[in-house]
Amino acid sequence: MSRTEEFEERRPLLFSIAYRILGSVSEAEDAVQEAWLRFEAAATPPDSIKAYLAAVVTRISINVLRSARVRREEYVGP
C-alpha cells in the first residue's frame, strides 16, 4: 500500500481529531494537510502510521490553538 493510500485511509480519523481540538472545519482541514506534508517528507516510515499521524495532527492542532491565543482570535461560527 502506498503512502497516499495509507494516509487517505486515516484521513477521517485525523480530521475528527483536529476538529475536536480546533472546532473549525477549515482549520482542521489545514491541520490534516500539514500532517500529510510532514508524513510525506519523513525519510523513514514510522513503525505505526496511525499513531504517528494522530500525534502529528494533535501537535499541529495544539500549535494552532496557541498561535490563535497569542493573536487573541476566537472562532465565531457553528
Asked whether residue 11 carries a pLDDT value surpassing 90, the answer given is yes
Report pLDDT for 74.
61
Residue 68: exposure state from Cβ atoms within 10 A (0-12, 13-18, ≥19): middle
Tell me: the pLDDT tens digits for 19-75? 999 999 999 999 999 999 999 998 888 899 999 999 999 999 999 988 865 565 566
Compute the radius of gyration of the chain from its Cα atoms: 13
